[in-house]
Amino acid sequence: MVKYAKLLFIAAFFMMIVLPVTGYDLSSAAIGNLIQTTPILNATPSCAVDNSDPYGLGGMDVCVPLGWIEGTANKGVFTLGPGDYGRKLEFEGETRFYEIHVPKSYSKYRNTPVILVFHGGGGYPDAVRYESGMDSVSEQNGFIVVYPAGTQANQNYTDRLLIWNDGRPFQNGSYSPVNDVGFVSAVLDDLATWFRIDPKRVYASGFSNGAQFTYRLAKQLSNRITAIAAVAGQRSADEIFPPPPIPMPVMQFSGKEDIYAPYYGGSPPDTSPFFEIAFETTLKPVEEVISSWVTFNKCPSKPYEVKRIGNAVLNRYKPCKYLTEVVLWTLEDGGHTWPGGDLLPSEVNAEQGNINTDISASILMWQFFQKFRHR
């Protein structure tokens, strides 16, 4: 089996890794919209790193100015308002963190839906924020976005070059002991102490390794995840882990020019490993993966809707059990990229392929997610 490390860490690293050349803006204006929260908020530390570092690729990083939430919230008080936040959690002996975008329309008096967005292998939260543009969709539609951070793929960095334990083995045959599913559950618990979220409308999305992890959450955290959307990473309903105990709405975005998550299945290119730690896998064809979810959710075998928008082709399967749906967007000109999104400066020359601009994956995700509430 080909070392999928090489997939994640050439795709994702090149695709998501760029080290900062500027620090965070610590001004009150940058922290912005924090409502009487001085006792529990600290300005984020600088994220400046020597840009001669080899993992910087000589490019610029994206750093979102954050107000870091500290302390313990009073249950049901919800003192924080709109803004961009960071939060550190002690989880199973490790310090983990996640980022939060709260839209201007947020009110502590009404339950607000949440979309979790998981970065790719070798990435970090700010990278997928930039690539997906999900913050702007949040502002337009009034949901909270949460960007959790994975764990280290390189011991020299704690805030980038991160990976998710999506269940696949490393190239040496060992498995990660990291309980990322438990971490996500802890993030949701913690988030609910600071913001009034709707527990029946919590959705998960991810890119590459983050997409694979999103499929794991669909199976192992289905009591809290209402629906999922995966970009540039596919997994069958019965692959690696058993299917979820309940039907799960699934949306998949896959590019036919993606060499790291091949549309027709197989393994990524056997290029030299970029890191010592890497996943090993052979991917199933995207259409076979979709067929497995169609069968699992008891949908009709033929699509309810087929539609083309430029080089983007939609296949929607419904009605399915418990009114779920399965949706595939095939990007005929798409590479290992987020449709309608962007590339970091260092990704431009990373051979990730083209970004399809006929659709916006982030907008389509929200349109899909808002149809579903947890039973």
| pLDDT on residue 343 | 84
Any domain includes 197: yes
136: domain CATH number is: 3.40.50.1820
Helices 180-194 and 209-220, axial angle in degrees (round to 10): 80
Q: Does residue 15 lie within any of the structural domains?
A: yes
Closest CA to 18 of 45, 47, 57, 46: 57
Q: Are 186 and 94 in contact (CB under 8 A)?
A: no
CA distance 196 to 32: 20
Question: Strand 144-148 and strand 67-69: pairing?
Answer: unpaired
- Mean pLDDT per 10-residue section of the chain, whose length is 375 residues: 38 34 30 31 42 42 86 90 96 95 97 97 90 97 97 70 91 91 98 97 97 98 98 97 98 96 89 54 95 98 98 98 97 97 74 93 98 95
Q: What is the pLDDT of residue 122?
A: 82
Domains contained in the chain, number:
1
Give me the pLDDT at residue 60, please: 53
Q: Is 374 among the domain residues?
A: no
Residue 168 belongs to some domain of the structure: yes
Q: Is residue 94 part of a domain?
A: yes
Question: Identity (one letter) of the amino acid at 246?
Answer: I
Residue at 252 is within a domain: yes
Res 8: pLDDT: 38
Q: Are 364 and 203 in contact (CB under 8 A)?
A: no
List Cα–Cα distances, 136 to 131, 143, 312, 363, in angstroms: 12, 10, 22, 10
Domain hosting 197: range is 5-369
* Per-residue pLDDT, 268: 85
Does residue 263 fall inside a structural domain? Answer: yes
pLDDT at site 35: 27
